Structure 1
Amino acid sequence: MTTDGIGAVYLTTHNWGRTAKFFQALGFRLDFETDHSSGQLVADDGPPLFVAEVPDQEPSLQLVLKVADESKVQLDPSVEVVTPFEDTHYGTREMVVRDPDGRTWTLQAPAK
C-alpha cells in the first residue's frame, strides 16, 4: 500500500478568526468558511489547511495522508489499525493507524 502524500493539514484552534488571519498573513487564501467557526485555507502549492475552532480542547495539528482507493490498502501486519475505514460527516472515508512512537495518522480516501 502506498499513500499519495499529504492530502490535508487539519488544525484545531481556540480562535478561528485569529488563526485564519495569521495564515492569511503568511500568504494563504481563504478557500471557504463554514457557519461553525471553521474553514479551509490554501496556498499556491501544497495541501489545503483546514482549521476548526474547538475551544475546550488543547490545540492540535494532524497531517492527513491521501489514499486514492481504500480497496487497494493492504497494510503490513506490523501496522496497528486504531479504526478501520469509516464514513465521515464531510464526505470521505478515513482510517486511523498508529506509528511506533504512538502518534496517530489518518488515511483519507474518497467516499464509495
Structure 2
Amino acid sequence: MATEGIEAVFLTTHNWGKAAKFFQALGYELDFETDHNSGQLRNGDGPYVFISEIPEDQETQTQIVLKVPDADAFRADSPVEVVTPFEDTHYGTKEMTVRDPDGRLWNLQAPGKN
C-alpha cells in the first residue's frame, strides 16, 4: 500500500481562537468551525490543518495524517505494524494507526465508503 503524501496535520490546543488566528495570520483560511471549539483551515492545495481545543490539564499534541487512496488496498502481509486497523470515523473517512520502527504512531486516512 502506497500513501499519497500528507493529508492533514491534526493539532490540539488550549485555546481554539488564538490557534485559529495564528494560522490565519500565516495565510490559512478557515474552511469550517464546529460548535465545540475546533475547526479546519487550509492554505492552497496543501494539507489541511484541523485544530481541536482540549482542557488545560491535557498535553497538546501534533499528528501528521498520511493519505491513502483505498483502505481495502492494505495487504495483510505488509511489514508495517498495524496498531489499529482501518475503522470508519464520524466525519466520513476511514482511519488506521501504524507504528514506525522508532515507535512513533502515524495515522493513515482513506476515503469512506459512500
- TM-score, L = length of structure 1: 0.94
Q: Deviation above 6 Å: which 4+ runs of structure 1?
A: none
Aligned pairs, how many? 112
State the AA in 1 paired with 2:15.
Answer: N
Identity rate of aligned residues, in percent? Answer: 69
| Equivalence for 1:29 | 29
2:100 match: 99
Letter in 2 for 1:25: A
Gaps of 5+ in 1: none
- Larger mean CA deviation between 76-85 and 90-99 belongs to 76-85
> Counterparts of 1:66-85 in structure 2 under 5 Å?
66-74=67-75, 77-85=78-86
Check if 1:109 corresponds to 2:110.
yes
Go from structure 1 to structure 2 and tell me whether the alpha carbon gap of 1:83 and 1:25 turns closer, same or farther (over 3 Å shift): same
- Cα displacement (A) at 1:106: 0.5
**Displacement after TM superposition at 1:90 (Å):** 1.1
CA RMSD of aligned residues (A): 1.3
Query: 1:89/1:64 Cα in 2 relative to 1: closer, same or farther (>3 Å)?
Result: same
Indicate how the Cα distance of structure 1 residues 39 and 98 shifts in structure 2: closer, same or farther if over 3 A, else same.
same
Structure 2 Cα separation of the partners of residues 41 and 62 of structure 1:
15
Q: Which residue of 1 aligns with 2:15?
A: 15
C-alpha deviation, 1:64, in angstroms: 0.6
Report the TM-score, using the length of structure 2 for normalisation: 0.92
Aligned-pair distance for 1:71? 1.1
* Paired AA for residue 109 in structure 1: A
Shift of 1:76: 5.3
Matches within 5 A, 1:45-84: 45-55=45-55, 56-74=57-75, 77-84=78-85
Aligned residue for 1:64, secondary structure, equals strand
Deviations 1:64-96 (A, max 9, x none): 111111111226543211000111111111110
1:3 CA drift (Å): 0.5
The code of the aligned residue for 1:107 comes to: L
Q: What is the rounded CA distance, in whole Å, between the counterparts of 2:58 and 2:112 in structure 1?
A: 28
The unaligned stretches of length 5 or more in structure 2 are none
Displacement after TM superposition at 1:44 (Å): 1.7
